[in-house]
Amino acid sequence: MASTTFSGPVTSTNGFVGDIKVPTYTVASAPSASSAGAGTLIYVSNGAAGSAILAFSDGTDWLRSDTGAAIAAE
């Protein structure tokens, strides 16, 4: 499969094909939310009190996708 870099929004008239994969971290190994930038999405294997969760950066913290609370291992 070819790889292409875009600098603006991506639009598809026929949908996107394939899996969407996001990087996986633990709470302890997650990069700084500020360096990742607002809108970045990650998978945190223990970020919902020990359970897996998708999280997004608001530019300051990694927030849980279900509650908006900061990720935490416990």
With cut-offs at 50, 70 and 90, classify the pLDDT of residue 52: very high
Question: Is residue 64 within 8 Å of 48, Cβ to Cβ?
Answer: yes
Which residues are within 8 A (CB) of 9 and not within 5 positions of it... i.e. 6 or more apart?
none
Kindly list the domain boundaries of the chain, sorted by start residue: 24-64
Amino acid code (one letter) for 57: S
Cα distance between residue 25 and residue 15, in whole Å: 28
Q: State mean pLDDT over 21-32.
A: 96
Look over the chain and give the mean of its residue pLDDT values, rounded to a whole number.
91
Neighbours of 27 (CB within 10 A): 19
Amino acid code (one letter) for 33: A
Query: What's the pTM?
Result: 0.77
Cα distance between residue 60 and residue 57, in whole Å: 7
